[in-house]
Amino acid sequence: MEQELWERMGEAARAEIDAVVRQGMVVRAVQVVRQALPGERVGIHQALDLVGRRTRALGDLVPRPEPDPLDLPSLLDRAAALPGRVVAVEALWDGDTVHDWFVDLVAVADDPEGEAPLATVRWRTGGPPPAQAAARAGRALAERLGVPFHFPSADAPDDQAPRWRAR
């Protein structure tokens, strides 16, 4: 369906969409998609799907966020900055249409109860899969802090897997 939409757009709109995607401007690209065919109502999900497809098609021409540091000293510094006592480290799958699946490393805290992000681990060309990199870093951090490490769906992306507190 997105291919049909893409083909119905004029050359100028397609060029503008690719130009803003190459600048990493996802929201602007979605706006251009939604405005490219004035007589049609293009839904947000349809526009996001098309922008995600263009992002993958343009590959290395699209800027990627710098990877969060996964070294133990950096993770320890981020965990130490939290207001509560860290009681567990979790690795959780998340994803979106544009960036595909990624893994968030999260510190679970008590007193006050809550959680805080430590790092986001994305697919990197030539790098280990995000689950492998996140598991290695998360286990090392948890071991150093003397707390459990929980990765409920290490083998396959699942953003509905049971959380550490729910076990």
Report the pLDDT averaged over residues 99-122: 90
Write the CA distances from 18 to 33, 60, 87, integer angstroms: 10, 13, 45
Reduced to 3 DSSP states, what percent helix, strand and coil does the chain have, rounded to the nearest 5?
Answer: 45, 20, 35
Highest mean pLDDT among 6-10, 18-22, 92-96: 18-22
3-class DSSP state for residue 39? coil
pLDDT tens digits, 57-78: 998 888 877 788 999 999 999 9
| Predicted pLDDT of residue 39 | 85
More confident residue, 112 or 151: 151
Query: Is residue 88 a contact partner of residue 148, using CB atoms and an 8 Å limit?
Result: yes
pLDDT tens digits, 126-165: 888 999 999 999 999 999 999 999 999 999 999 899 999 8
**Model pTM score:** 0.73
| Predicted pLDDT of residue 82 | 87
Report the pLDDT averaged over residues 67-95: 92
Please classify residue 152 by burial: count the beta carbons closer than 10 Å to its beta carbon, then call 0-12 exposed, 13-18 middle and 19+ buried: middle
Q: Is the pLDDT of residue 102 over 70?
A: yes
Q: Is the pLDDT of residue 120 over 90?
A: yes
3-class DSSP state for residue 37? coil
The mean predicted confidence, pLDDT, of the chain is 90
Please classify residue 52 by burial: count the beta carbons closer than 10 Å to its beta carbon, then call 0-12 exposed, 13-18 middle and 19+ buried: buried
Sheet with 100-110, strands from edge to edge, namely 114-121, 100-110, 85-96, 149-150
CA angle 153, 155, 156 (to 5 degrees): 75
CB atoms within 10 A of CB 104: 19
